[in-house]
Homo-oligomer: A and B are copies of this chain.
Amino acid sequence: MPMRLKSVDKNFEQQFATLLSQKREVSVDVDNAVRDIIADIRARGDAALVDLTLKFDRLDLRKSGIAVTAAEIEAAVRECSKETLDALHFAHDRIADHHKRQLPSDDRYRDAAGVELGHRWTAVESAGLYVPGGLASYPSSVLMNAVPAKVAGVPRIVMVVPSPGGELNPLVLAAAKIAGITEIYRIGGAQAVAALAYGTETIRPVVKIVGPGNAYVAAAKRQVFGIVGIDSIAGPSEVLVIADGHNDPDCIASDLIAQAEHDTAAQSILMTDDENFAASVEQAVARQLQTLPRGNIAGESWNAFGATIVLKSLDEAPALADRVAAEHLEIATENAEDLSKRIRNAGAIFIGHVTPEVIGDYVSGSNHVLPTARSARFSSGLGVLDFMKRTSILKLDEAALAALGPAAMTLARAEGLEGHRRSVEVRLAKTT
């Protein structure tokens, strides 16, 4: 059974702190193994890729080739139903439309001292997208990672996806095609991350690597960070639902379950000011789990990490929600809009009684790659800016140099950097 907390209880603060500090993932220390894999790829390139893929994916790249061919991609598309392809196109177009609004503006201006300042945004020259293999190989994630890169204007986007035993999910290839990705390699794990970061004979290196993966992939991304840019390290998914009694318990229960079915380490929390409603939702969850294909997974997550939190008043919700800093925050209350404005920490907020989080997973247009494990306190969902960088611009004329130079010289000397001082001094001497 999930935890039931009440804010009026004496030990509430202690129970809530315990809930927040729960460790949902077994942290496996794979750092040394990953270090060896990266060193091997750097030393032996393709040959190491072949050996490691044979070992971990039971696939002989010498026979299959490292790159997925255009013909394979076409064949995969033919395997998909028209209904699914249509839905992927629908999702793709909505994601593209929404992300175009994230394109940043350049800035350039001359200030009162005559100094020209500004910045310019440019796309990274290449990006690598890691797509997990097997069960967690989701076409929706391909779109969510690839489309922002495309919208940013990244000229080269590379996808890697492991193919255990030679199997590739045709939907993943179809999604790649819809997103316009043509350079795809059938590799995975730390070896794929290393190949993207350092390159091999076949694979040119990229400058940014994004996408979710297992402990090896996460460790590899952490280790190559600095050589390339990475996105955040994804943890198990989570939802916090703030709901008043004016909801159908079955609807709220289904949202909690949708999150829980991802993974036994997922977390679903309900916060409500109506204890009877909390009980009804718990009953609805129990009922729905019985007929769900992934009911065992969802049940395990719900029992281990699920919680219902009964508040005296919904006014208590924002401060508590900020401490949860949920990846997904559903606010299904009468005053949802007002309540949402009082929240600082959340990856995404789903407002009102008819906004199930699942819509955001697929077709709303907003990104489903969101900060997990309380990292919404300091990071954002994936977006166009993750594939761009800002170059600052400075331009002085002689008057501007004369206006700024003396203060710069004073500070350079105060910091003991006489060479800095002189570089201003020599120009002032030549120009005045």
A125 smallest CB distance to B (angstroms): 6
The residue in A293, A344, A395 that gathers the most chain B C-beta atoms within 10 A of its C-beta is A395
Q: State in angstroms the CA–CA spacing of A337 and B404 once bound together.
A: 21
By beta carbon, the residue of chain B nearest A230 is B378
Question: A233 contacts the other chain (Cβ, under 8 Å)?
Answer: yes
Q: Is B125's CB under 8 angstroms from A345's CB?
A: yes
Interface residues of A in 273-320 (CB under 8 A from B): 288, 292-294, 298
Q: Is B416's CB under 8 angstroms from A348's CB?
A: no
Q: State in angstroms the CA–CA spacing of A373 and B393 once bound together.
A: 19
Question: A390 contacts the other chain (Cβ, under 8 Å)?
Answer: yes
Q: State in angstroms the CA–CA spacing of A97 and B113 once bound together.
A: 12
Question: A76 contacts the other chain (Cβ, under 8 Å)?
Answer: no
Q: Is A415's CB under 8 angstroms from B347's CB?
A: no
Interface residues of A in 135-192 (CB under 8 A from B): 135, 138-140, 171
Interface residues of A in 404-432 (CB under 8 A from B): 404-408, 410-412, 414-424, 426-427, 430-431
Stretch at the interface among A11-19, A58-66, A256-264: A256-264
CB within 8 A of A415: which of B98, B115, B140, B412? Answer: B140
Q: Is A408's CB under 8 angstroms from B292's CB?
A: no
**Which residues does chain B contribute within 8 Å of A400, judged by CB atoms?**
354
**Which residues does chain B contribute within 8 Å of A7, judged by CB atoms?**
none
Question: A401 contacts the other chain (Cβ, under 8 Å)?
Answer: yes
Q: Is B257's CB under 8 angstroms from A423's CB?
A: yes
**Which residues does chain B contribute within 8 Å of A364, judged by CB atoms?**
115, 117, 394, 404
Q: State in angstroms the CA–CA spacing of A356 and B417 once bound together.
A: 15
Give 25 pairs: A residue, B residue, CB < 8 Å, sorted on A.
A84-B414, A87-B408, A90-B407, A139-B414, A139-B415, A171-B415, A288-B419, A288-B422, A292-B419, A293-B416, A298-B419, A347-B392, A349-B394, A350-B394, A355-B401, A358-B408, A359-B408, A359-B424, A361-B420, A363-B404, A366-B392, A378-B389, A380-B389, A381-B390, A381-B392
Binding site for B on A (CB under 8 A): 83-84, 86-88, 90-91, 97-98, 101-102, 107, 109, 111, 115-117, 119, 122, 124-125, 135, 138-140, 171, 207-208, 222, 225-226, 228-229, 232-233, 248, 250-251, 254-255, 257-258, 260-262, 288, 292-294, 298, 322, 337, 340, 343-352, 354-367, 370-371, 373, 375-381, 383, 385, 389-398, 400-401, 404-408, 410-412, 414-424, 426-427, 430-431
Beyond A254-B422, A293-B418, A346-B391, 4 additional pairs, beta carbon < 8 A: A115-B365, A248-B430, A354-B427, A358-B420
The 8 A-B pairs of least Cβ separation, nearest first, read A229-B378, A261-B419, A254-B423, A380-B390, A87-B410, A351-B395, A87-B407, A258-B423
